A and B are shown apart, each in its own frame.
Chain A
Amino acid sequence: MTLCVKLSHHIQNFHLDLAFELPAKGLTALFGPSGSGKSLTTNAIAGLITPQVGEISLNGHRLFSSSQRINCPSHKRNIGYMFQDSRLFPHLTIKKNLLFGAKRCKQSPTHDEIQQIIAMLDIGHLLKRHPAHLSGGEKQRVALGRALLSKPSLLLLDEPMAALDQARKQEILPHLERLRDESDIPILYISHSISEVARLADQMLLIHQGTLNAQGPVHDVMNRLDLFPLTGRFEAGTAFKATILSHDQDHSMSCVQFEGGTLWTSKLPGEVGDLVRLRIRARDVLLATEKPAAISANNIIPAIIHDYRQDPNHIMEVQLQAQGIKLLARITKKSWHRLGLQKGSTLFAIIKSISLDRRLGQDTTST
């Protein structure tokens, strides 16, 4: 484990009390609504605030310990921090901004490393400008580059896309994905957007009102019925892994294999044999007690009702056991009664659409 965090901090009516560890590689999302204590946590890790009680260590180095009275100053922690609002230095050119941390770290990046990061983020044409002349997306790319060039042992990304409009988000997302796939640095990604988490993260920590409600692989946490109120029911759904079996070029469709079955999806990027993480949203699943014969949906799979939960708006959230995966469906209470459904009912799940969360590459042996 690279980062071990144990925190307890009290301000006015807010209690932060949590403990977690971060895997040595990959992107972990710290997910929770505004005011849940996400920024407090990252600021404590970076040393920008001093928690009242806690222990923080990174790669075996103790950065903070209230019991041993250790508090390593933030400029010696070697933790990269990309802020929501870029925080580029207005009096310096982009080049000088990028190299600000690089000049101050123990092992300065080589010329090649600098060029590589500039190329990866596609910011070479901005080097001579000042931050005031950059768009929001460009600023965030520079901020990311600046944090990376300080060669951190841990990278904190604090809602890097929250201040951007949809088009700018699309501009920076591929860069974040590349960073996640190519970098050896563990990344803690703070977000309150479940779709960002689903697309980017491997692991997630779910934080609510200052405490940790769940942690684990993203699809496990997101499929938990009891966490629906926190993960957001509109976006609720099932994430699962599948392998691309074949492409149907004529109809621009792909056939994928998942645990215990096959599904048709709209054409996926990637080769046959590639592993992907797919998502079926709860609102895209219809239920039928008899197998419909003539229907436009391509995917109809038999399922059993495993569990259900009624939300305050008379909507039933139904968890189905369908050939090895747990599907979620949202139906009205009226439908539930009309079909006479209950725990253990057998039925057919009609899947209207399947979306691609992210590509997982060729490796099919890892989990």
Chain B
Amino acid sequence: MTDWITPAEWEALLLSFKISTIAVGSALPFAILTASLLSRPPFPGKALLDGIVHLPLILPPVVMGYLLLITFGTRAPLGAWLQSTFDLRFVFSWTGAALAAAIITFPFQVRAIRLAIESMDPGLIEAAKTLGAGPIDRFISITLPLALPGILAGAITAFAASLGEFGAIITFVSNIPGETRTLPLAIYSALQTPGGEEAAARLVILAIALAFLGLILSEFAARHAKKRMGQ
């Protein structure tokens, strides 16, 4: 029973966690910023921004992976510049997988946070104004804490979606064991290998368990947030 999961499978699981955590964590500040921009009254370019944010939702992940490849590839201007200046390489690296997951799951975060900000009582912001709070102060002390349930919900949804990302990752950073082979890629590889059905089944059970864990976590977070509001 000790080796019900092989080291390679364990590695894929940990890698999935690492990539998703980094992806969601680094995209979160941008998601909050974008969501608060999009919840403001109309401004020039708002529709365009909205469209760009939602692009990963409507484009096939493989297309996203391809676009990333031609943007961040070592021969592409941006990719080359990043590598020479910051020694940052995305292709065939787990950082690339995190980047792909972050971009693909960005709309999930923005949508949830935007909804939370827009459902806030604008009267509270007015009250904060009359009590001497400036724009940044209001954002930090009123908007952010009140949008917290939405931020948590967005982050957890994005994390779950990011664990399952397949198309963009395999197109952009390939399927390298220990580097970019996440849980879904490991399941795919197992199925490609003769006699790998048993390994695939184990990984599938793992993926289902993870999904449930995420669900329970988000429910718990939502309840905690509600409790903080005293409801």
Contacts and interface: CB of A to CB of B under 8 A. Distances in A.
Nearest to A149: B131
A48 B231 contact: no
A165 B175 CA distance: 68
Contact of A48 (B126, B137, B228): B126
A238 B146 CA distance: 50
A100 B126 contact: no
The dominant DSSP class at the B interface is helix
Given A87-B124, A89-B142, A74 B230 contact: no
Given A75-B134, A89-B124, A129 B129 contact: no
Interface string B29-62: 0000000000000000000000000000000000
A111 interface: no
A75 B129 contact: yes
B124 A78 contact: no
Contacts of B228: 91
B127 interface: yes
Contacts of A79: 130
A80 B131 CA distance: 7
Contacts of B230: 90, 129-133
Contacts of A147: 130-131
A147 B132 CA distance: 10
B132 A81 contact: no
B132 A78 contact: yes
Contact of A104 (B121, B127, B131): B131
Interface residues of B, number: 22
B145 interface: yes
Contacts of A132: 229-231
A190 interface: no
B136 to A, nearest CB: 11
Given A100-B131, A150-B132, A91 B146 contact: yes
Given A131-B230, A132-B229, A87 B123 contact: yes
Contacts of A87: 121, 123-124, 126-127
Contacts of B130: 46, 48, 74-75, 77, 79-81, 101, 147, 150
B223 to A, nearest CB: 15
Given A83-B127, A85-B123, A91 B229 contact: yes
15 contacts: A75-B128, A75-B129, A75-B130, A75-B137, A89-B128, A89-B142, A90-B229, A91-B146, A91-B148, A100-B128, A100-B133, A101-B130, A129-B230, A132-B231, A150-B130
Interface of A: 46-48, 73-81, 83, 85, 87, 89-91, 100-101, 104-105, 129-133, 146-147, 150
Interface of B: 121, 123-124, 126-134, 137, 141-142, 145-146, 148, 228-231
